[in-house]
Structure 1
Amino acid sequence: MEEWVAAWLEQQRQMGKKCLEIKYIQGKPYVYHSTSVYDRETKKTRKVSRYLGRLTPDRGLLARGSSRPSQEERPVTALQRPRFVHEYGNAHLLALEFQDLIPVLTEAFPDHWQEIIALVFTRITGYLPLKRVKASWEKLDNSLNIQPDCSPRTLSTMLRAIGDDRIGQDRIFQHLRTGNRHLIYDLSFVFSLSDNLSLAEWGHNAREIALPQVNLALFSGRETGLPVMLRPLPGSVKDVTTLLPSMDGLHLADAILILDRGFISGKVVEGIISRECSYLLPLRRDSVHYATRIHLNDRFLYHKRLIRGGRREIGDRTLYLFEDEDLRLEERKTLFQRLTEGTITKEVAREQEKRAGRILFLSNLDETPQQIYELYKTRDLVEKHFDTLKNEIQADILYLSDRSAVCGHLFVGFLCLYLYCRLLARIKKADLTAEYSPKDLLLIFSKVMRVSYEGFDQITEVPKKVRDLEQKLGVELFPK
């Protein structure tokens, strides 16, 4: 009999429990309650054994049909009352999805990586003031075995430090760039509630209220479906001048950039080519290239919409023209309505009708029209990332007046976005997007707790719904 088994058996006897017997089956100890009874027919004593459960060195006696320690294993004393209760399931799910980034995070921010993780895990479901981070972190099971200092003063100092550390941020961005050749780039903005933020300039929100705003540049990776880089920009920077410095921050080479109309510029195009990258750029409706004659010989369906497409090479570049039949009809109806209301003239309506439903692209890619069209339609990925960043994670809530702190806050928001998208990708892979969101997963898995007693821990019962969801997602979070 092993020493720990003998020690457990002796402890039970000292607690007044008798008739316990240890049987080894396939090298594992099992506990039985064994007594002797008198058999009147045979006039002899007969041994009767009742199986109680399996004995484990870390969790004690696991009662028959249960994966939890037996409540009868210890006397009912004050020491048996739970000392700590932590949310186990959601904490381990977050740690599982974030584990690939932790080694890079420790190298990039060796003095602050633990506080960054605590802030990301507590803010992934929405904005949380710094004064509440410590209480929220202490609710979670510390599956990573880290000891972050979650005091508001320390977290405030940390935000300023990582906000100024462009080298550390670039390490994270370079890591996320791996595996993505197609990069989608766009700009957005968030409003600040501070009047003293030098990074912001005055703008108007949806209710036409004037507020200082901060521009954001975001790269998203088409292959991984994850955000790659987020950079706050001064409010005075124009769209067209942001791209090339952002590319240099990622040291891009042999990448394919999918852009929006705001980035059309001869200087930008030449800059992309000089960096040995490719581009796909939609042209404005007033572009002179619309006068170029392009035959729409290709036809294909995209989401049940008939698309006609064609291409024409102009030197080392190619023009791709598309016509959406459904969009063409809608735009012609709108032009007719505006003409009837008198907001446009007949000449303007006639000129705009020639381009109704048409989209023209400039690129140095050599692809079929259908491939180009489907490639551009992946641009909604970066728009979804911006929407998640602002609405789900609420990183657009800025009360800070210090430029460094704002940059640190937005970087933490970016990491929350990365973790949120990892959870969303797992949901999509399991084909569960119609039923669950990342917030739903975290709420459901938070039902499973880790209860700490004096000398041992136990995991609360895992509901069948949670166990089934764990299996569908392809993760192993709970003991069998």
Structure 2
Amino acid sequence: MTTEVKSLDKRSGITYIYQSTSYWDKVKKAPRCKRVLIAKLDPVTGERVPTDGRGKRRRQKEQSSTIAKPGPVPSIRTERLFYGATYLLDQIGDKLGIVADLKACFPKDYKKILSLAYFLILEDTSAVSRFGRFAKTHRHPYGRDIPSQRSSELFQAVSEEAKMSFFRLQGRRRLESEYWAYDSTSISSYSDTLKQVRYGKNKDGEALPQINLALLFGEKSGLPFYYRKLAGNIPDVKTITELVRELDVLVYIKINLVMDRGYYSADNINGLYRQHYKFLVGVSTSLSYVQAYIKELGEDMQTYEHYTDQYKVYCASRTIAWNYEQERPYKGDILKGERRMYLHLYYNPEKAVEDEQKRTAYYVKLESELQSGKHKPEHEKDYAKYFIVHETPVRGRRITPNNEAMKKARRLYGYFALLSNDVKDPVEALQLYRTRDVVEKAFGNLKERLNCRRTLVSSDSGLEGKLFVTFVSLIYLSYIKSQMQKNNLFAKYTLQGLLDELDVIECFCEPGKALMPGEVLKKQEALYEAMDVTPLYAKPSLE
């Protein structure tokens, strides 16, 4: 009898479909089963995807005599190349599993992806079209030039399935117990052919045509392992629903998210509870339950018992009940209940002074706009809230401040709040929340060092591929910066300075002979050790 059997591979997260045939084993006198792979399930759509499982090993054996085995590209000519920095990247790629995961997801193109990533890291101000010059002077995984047309074809060949598989593999290398910092940034683009380019406001409040990029970072590892491209006009708060859905597709075992207050909404909190995810999120002090806690604590908040010298702030916590709601379309009702939540409140005296200065400058701006008659639609509510306008035939327009409203706002100066369904201690919560800095620093790398402030591609498929290669580069850079901070290397080097210090090390290549690295100085050896990789001198040959 022949039946179909589904089996989930826990290592890759892929469900395979086998054709199972039962038969009687005359020798062992017992029933046996023979299975043949016939298809797999698409992790996003759930559709069947046929495979070439039948005869695969036989075909590979037949082709082994004509297809070159994977591995370092052997030297085909005598040459001397720069090798010190690319050797460092080779070692990091092996250590973090980047090479193995790329090879599993992009078996034909993984060396090209690595070489382009190396180029973006080491030649941060150059366009990809200048790769040929880099290839002539450096030893790199692909070992040959990648002309501009070929790199464009590579970008367009990066499929969503392969990209998601890479995210899945990299995510499983992160510690299950760590929190993941989630945030987004904007990338400006003036292309008329990219579908997701929309006018939106960046972090500086500027309205520009842009796309948005969301990143997920490991709090302890300091490494990124997921990103998603978004239309430029989508606000942060709208992205959580899709994030939750995609994390579910990636089949991660434990999910702990850290987010700023731009991602807070009742729907998002309910969605995170629904998936049983742990989270820590910033919240506005304008929320009623936050203001109630501030009022309850009063002046006691600024007493020594609430002070933490580690962060120079006053803090307090309480348990609150979250009014959970879940819409159930299949039953046509809404499930309601209470969920336990921890509210962490903080007061920073320095922030209070800054808030006072910013708010006063804002009041001056509002009054000036009222006086001139040049109103801004986004300020209409604050005009009415903080000022009283009198119109008289004799005196004309007279504007007076609403002192009561301004006093009420002043009570919140210096305060900020966090919300979590997992972290009970306010100091631990603040420590976790500040790990979001790794994302902010990553955005700096993404836009400045990796030449991604402006998109220089004209098609959506090309943009997807370039973003993916850029993301691979970001993993390497994040690791290097993390090790530099850990070993206090920023006191002596910039990130570029460290790479330049190693980049001058050469290697001599001759056909048929082992690769010969050049001289390595003691300070260069110390840099390799600080990066937690084997120094180049200790490994005389990679062939």
Q: What range is the shorter-chain TM-score in?
A: 0.7 to 0.9
Bigger mean CA offset, 213-222 vs 461-470: 461-470
> Counterpart amino acid of 1:256?
N
Deviations 1:263-293 (A, max 9, x none): 2222211111111101222222332223323
| Partners of 1:218 and 1:229 within 8 A in 2 | yes
Q: Distance in 1 between matches of 2:131 and 2:404?
A: 61
Contact 1:256–1:279 (8 Å) recurs in 2: yes
Aligned equivalents of 2:279 and 2:266: distance in 1? 13
Deviations 1:229-253 (A, max 9, x none): 1111122433222122223323345
1:327 touches 1:357 (CA, 8 Å); kept in 2? Answer: yes
Q: 1:173 aligns with which of 154, 167, 178?
A: 167
Structure 1 residues 209 and 338, CA, compared in 2 at 3 Å: closer, same or farther?
closer
Residue 306 in structure 1 maps to residue 303 in structure 2:
no
Query: 2: CA distance between counterparts of 1:459 and 1:395?
Result: 33
Task: Indicate how the Cα distance of structure 1 residues 305 and 198 shifts in structure 2: closer, same or farther if over 3 A, else same.
Answer: same
Partner of 2:518: 460
Question: C-alpha distance in 2, partners of 1:377/1:439?
Answer: 26
Q: Could you give the per-residue CA deviations for residues 56-79 of structure 1, whole angstroms, max 9, x where no partner exists? A: xxxxxxxxxxxxxxxxxxxxxxxx
- What is the aligned partner in structure 2 of residue 383 from structure 1? 440
CA 159–322 in structure 1, closer or farther in 2 if over 3 Å, else same: same
1:137 pairs, out of 132, 135, 138, with 135
Query: Offset at 1:196?
Result: 2.3
Q: Pick which of 468-477 and 85-94 moved more.
A: 468-477
* Conservation of the 8 A alpha-carbon contact between 1:261 and 1:284: yes
1:213 deviation in Å? 0.4
Structure 2 portions without partners, runs of 5+ = 1-76, 322-337, 368-385, 387-400, 539-543
What does residue 55 of structure 2 align with?
A: none
Code of the residue aligned with 2:160 in structure 1: it is R
Q: 1:279 aligned to 2:300?
A: no
The question of 1:269 aligning with 2:269 is answered: yes
Moved more, 196-205 or 112-121: 196-205
* Distance in 1 between residues matched to 2:365 and 2:107, nearest whole Å: 64
Decide whether the 8 Å contact of 2:257 with 2:280 is kept in 1: yes
Gaps of 5+ in 1: 1-81
Aligned residue type for 1:459: P
TM norm structure 2: 0.67
Q: CA RMSD in A?
A: 2.8
Of 115, 119, 127, the match for 1:118: 115
Question: 2:460 maps to which residue?
Answer: 403
2:346 maps to 322
Distance 1:369 1:140 in 2: 50
What is the rounded CA distance, in whole Å, between the counterparts of 2:111 and 2:511 in structure 1? 27
1:154 and 2:128 aligned: no
2:234 is the alignment partner of 1:240 = no
Distance 1:206 1:381, change over 3 A: closer
SS at match of 2:498: helix
Indicate the larger mover: 352-361 or 466-475: 466-475
1:84 equivalent to 2:108? Answer: no
How many residue pairs end up in the alignment?
395
Contact in 2 for aligned 1:127/1:397 (Cα 8 Å): no
Contact 2:508 2:516 in 1 (8 A): yes
Match of 1:36 in 2: none
8 Å CA contact retained: 1:112, 1:158 = yes
Contact 2:80-2:508 at 8 Å conserved across structures: yes
Distance in structure 1 (CA, Å) of the matches to 2:430 and 2:202: 32
Q: Pairwise mapping of residues 35-434 of structure 1 onto structure 2 (< 5 A)?
A: 83-99=78-94, 100-125=97-122, 126-142=124-140, 144=141, 146-147=142-143, 150-162=146-158, 165-178=159-172, 179-180=174-175, 181-203=178-200, 211-251=208-248, 252-293=252-293, 294-295=296-297, 296=301, 299-301=306-308, 303=310, 305-314=312-321, 315-316=338-339, 317-335=341-359, 343=367, 344=386, 345=401, 346-434=403-491
> 2: CA distance between counterparts of 1:256 and 1:207?
28
Instruction: Output the TM-score relative to the length of structure 1.
Output: 0.75
- Larger-gyration structure (1/2): 1
1:312–1:152 Cα change, 3 Å: same
Q: Could you say what secondary structure the match of 1:187 adopts?
A: strand
Shift of 1:205: 7.2
Shift of 1:124: 1.1
Does the 8 A contact of 2:450 with 2:470 survive in 1?
A: yes
Distance 1:223 1:211, change over 3 A: same
How far residue 182 of structure 1 moved from its aligned partner, in angstroms, is: 0.5
- Aligned-residue offset at 1:361: 2.4
- Residue 507 of structure 2 is aligned to residue 477 of structure 1: no
Residue pair 2:189, 2:455 contacting (<8 A) in 1 also: yes
Alignment partner of 1:318: what SS? strand
- Specify the SS of the correspondent of 1:237: coil
What is aligned with 2:33? none
Is 2:505 the partner of 1:448?
Answer: yes
Letter of the structure 1 residue corresponding to residue 478 of structure 2? C
